[in-house]
Amino acid sequence: MFETLPVGAMTCNLDTFEIDYANPCSIALLESIRDTLGFDPVDIVGTSIDVFHKNPAYQRGLLSDAAQLPHKARICFGTEWLDLHIHALPDSTGRVSRALLVWAIATAEVAKEQEEYRLQRMIDDMPVAVMTVDPVSFNITYLNETSMRTLGQIKDLLPIRPSELLGASIDVFHRHPEHQRKLLSDPANLPHRARIKLGSEVLDLQVTAVTGTDGAYLGPMLTWSVITQQVAAEARIQQLAHFDTLTALANRNTFREHLNARLSSPDCRLGLLFIDLDGFKFVNDSNGHLVGDILLSRVADRLRAHCVRPGTLVARLGGDEFAILIADAGVAEASALAEDLIREIVRPYQVEVDRRLEIGASIGVAAAPEHGTDSELLLSRADMALYAAKAAGKKTFRVFTPDMEFRLYERVRLEGKLREALTEGKGLFLFYQSITDIETGRITAREGLIRWYHERRGWISPVEFVPVAEESGLIDELGIWVLNRACQDAAGWDDDVRVAVNVSAKQLGKGTLATNILTALVRAGLEPSRLEIEITESALLADELDCLADLRRVRDLGVRVALDDFGTGFSSLAHLRSFHFDKIKIDGSFVQDAIQRPDCAAIVGVLADLGKRLGVTTVAEGVETQAHLDLVRAEGCREVQGYLLGRPAPSSRDVPLVAALNRLQIQVSDVA
């Protein structure tokens, strides 16, 4: 039926927001607006639906909410108007997984009407008064909404009511009608600008000629404003130029102007705070932008209330970032304020009658002249201190120190070397650590652990370079390398042991993980059942629905999914309910402390029993001694991992190269 429809019909996958079907009429219609598309219409299948809308986020929200469907709209696409109908397409389970879009290009007459309507609305909504006049009768033929509002404020100065002006003579606005008529009748006199007095008010008037497509004079258009209102409008423009519209705090431009002005003063002393809200993105994504805006306004109110010291400027730089300038202050005063603000910001926010939200704040502190007197340098150092505060666990502040600058430069260099290593395929290795069945002693899996040998620094810990990969966007490329290498190595093992691979939170929620895994399996010729991916609980804290959708696609391939470091994150039981994991790995910190601490031993036992009840394999990490092994066996764990049963070791093909690199590192250390 769709193939023969005389209108365009397309379907969109609501998981990826890609077009997965387009009928012949769609291709033909797209061909007619090919110049607007930016791609060949025959390639429409597989293209993101975002190409058809100026606001992709709004469009995705509309498509994802079945309650808003069916939906009818007329949208402007390039120079064309499209009539669009959107319908929900539920699958056999009732889940709305796709959307049907039926559309056609509006006729020339409809498009013309739409454009005229759009122009009419634009004129109606203009912040200045607009009138048009017939050049023959000199009667007023149009007044926009602003004209009516403005005239309503000076109605006592008019000979007739504002509602009676449409169709009335323009003479009511001028003491010399003959001069005015002569001016308006001849386009050669236009454009013209003047100020005229109407009673006690002065009007600022500009007259321009309106011509048709053939150049013929259609009449004059008058734009005008009362001077007193113009002054108010200019004040409003100044407000918008210098202050944030949501919070009424100073904006980024005003903040920079004040900073430069203060630093230019002799003997300047000032404190600078950079503030970033912890957890705001999660609140904003899960509760909606309206709640997010309310929360930002409440934070601004608290900052304003606590920054009352004379000469203090509070600004919103954008998003959830704020900055504070403190005049005649040093590190001590700025640090005291930072500590106070952290305590204030973490207090719960009552955004609705029955809804309380909690966030935190990380703050970077710098001061002049201690940390510089140049604005760019001072800003960058406050930003470095903020980065250090977030790295320290958030909900804290840090004052800039020179070693932060050194670490930043080192991080930039490290990122460059890591990018080079990925491009050339040099220096990266996978070491494997066994996971063993407690009762049989049989190895059930080997976990692949990324290792990197840096030509100057030697072996660099993953704790150092994996966060660099996550922050720089290299984590996807690094993750693909790990997947391919692990699958290739496992395919060459003599036994049928599974290989486990860690997946970063930054790799989830993009809709690409399952594809990358499938590609790695096919290239290596490895059965999906022999691959196991491990994720931490923290990976599910942001964009949880998208992350779970990714995990379900991975599970559909036949790949096992394990929850790593279990018990250390948030909402552990909720995560076990939302997705059936094949394995939970009890964090090694509990096992390490269980010998001396009965409470930790109890936690291990509870988690092992929970796994047994859920039919999930439990793995105790961090087993380094016989005492650890005896304890986790007694508590009911099924599998163990740790130095007692096997240390991480390179694959057989990498053993000679790793041994050579180890010898080289020892020689370099001896020389140093």
**Mind listing the pLDDT tens digit for each residue in 262-294?**
999 888 999 999 999 998 888 887 778 888 899
In a domain, 278, yes or no: yes
Contacts of 497 (CB under 8 A, 6+ apart): 443, 444, 445, 446, 490, 530
Cβ neighbour number for residue 293 with a 10 Å cutoff: 14
Q: Domain check: are 132 and 29 in the same one?
A: no
Helix (H) / strand (E) containing 104: strand 96-105
Q: Which domain range does residue 374 map to?
A: 243-400
- The pLDDT of residue 234 is 63
Is there a domain that residue 654 lies in? yes
Contact call for residues 282 and 541 (beta carbons, < 8 A): yes
Q: Which pair of structure tokens corresponds to residue 650?
A: 């390179």
Same domain, 109 and 216: no
The type of residue at 98 is R
Alpha-carbon distance of 66 to 20, in angstroms, equals 19
DSSP three-state, residue 655: helix
> What does the alpha-carbon distance between residue 207 and residue 216 come to, in Å, rounded to a whole number?
17
Judge if 383 and 249 occupy the same domain: yes
Can you tell me the mean pLDDT for 482-504? 95
Q: Give pLDDT, residue 104.
A: 82
Task: Tell me if 109 is assigned to some domain.
Answer: yes
Same-domain pairing of 162 and 227: yes
- Which of 232, 261, 291 is the endpoint of a domain? 232
Number of DSSP helices (H) and strands (E) in the chain, helices first: 22, 27
* Residue in 308, 313, 312, 301 with CA at minimum distance from that of residue 251: 313
Q: What's residue 84's pLDDT?
A: 83
Pair (301, 205) in one structural domain: no
Three-class SS of residue 614? helix
Q: Over 50: is that where the pLDDT of 671 sits?
A: no
Mean pLDDT of the chain: 86
What's the token pair of residue 561?
């999914």
How high is the pLDDT of residue 534? Answer: 95
The residue-averaged pLDDT of 624-630 equals 94
Calculate ∠ Cα 404-408-414, nearest 5°.
140
Domain final residue pick, 88, 113, 138: 113
**Would you call 502 helix, strand, or coil by DSSP?**
strand
Structure confidence by residue, pLDDT tens digits, 80-136 = 777 888 888 888 788 888 888 888 877 655 555 655 666 666 677 777 888 889 988
Q: Residue 224's domain is classified under what CATH number?
A: 3.30.450.20
The neighbour count for residue 1, using CB atoms within 10 Å, is: 6
Across 401-478, the runs of DSSP E, i.e. the strands, are 428-437, 443-454, 458-460
> Which pLDDT value is given to residue 571?
44
Q: Would the pLDDT of 542 be above 70?
A: no
Q: How confident is the model at residue 386 (pLDDT cuts 50, 70, 90)?
A: very high
Sign of CA dihedral 621, 626, 628, 633: positive
Asked if residue 101 belongs to a domain, the reply is yes
pLDDT attached to residue 115: 56
189 and 303: one domain?
no
Q: What digits encode the pLDDT tens for the residues 462-475?
A: 998 998 998 888 99
Specify whether 28 is located in the same domain as 156: no
- Whether the pLDDT of residue 569 is over 60: the answer is no
- The tokens describing 149, both together, are 């509002």
Separation of alpha carbons 12 and 97, rounded Å: 9
The answer to whether residues 607 and 628 belong to one domain is: yes
Least confident interval from 178-192, 225-239, 443-457, 615-629: 225-239
Whether residue 365 has pLDDT greater than 60 = yes
Read off the pLDDT of each residue in 39-52 and give the average, rounded to a whole number: 85
Model pLDDT, residue 127 = 74
Domain contains 447:
no
Residues 167 and 261 in one domain: no
Examine residue 435 and state whether it is found in any structural domain, yes or no: no
Q: Could you give the CA distance from residue 134 to residue 84 in angstroms, rounded to a whole number?
A: 39
One DSSP character per residue, 133-188 reads E-TTT-BEEEE-HHHHHHHHHTGGGSSS-GGG-TTSBGGGG-S-HHHHHHHHH-GG
The answer to whether position 59 is within a domain reads yes
Q: Are 637 and 438 in contact (CB under 8 A)?
A: yes
* Residue 261, pLDDT score: 92
Residue 425, domain member (yes or no): no
Q: Could you give the count of Cα atoms lying within 13 Å of 557 in the half-sphere of its Cβ?
A: 26
The phi and psi torsions of 512 (rounded to 5 degrees) equal -110, -10
Domains identified in the chain, total number? 4
H or E element at residue 255: helix 252-263
The 10s digit of each residue's pLDDT in 576-613 is 777 889 999 998 888 988 888 988 899 899 989 988 99
Kindly tell me if the per-residue pLDDT of 521 is higher than 90: yes
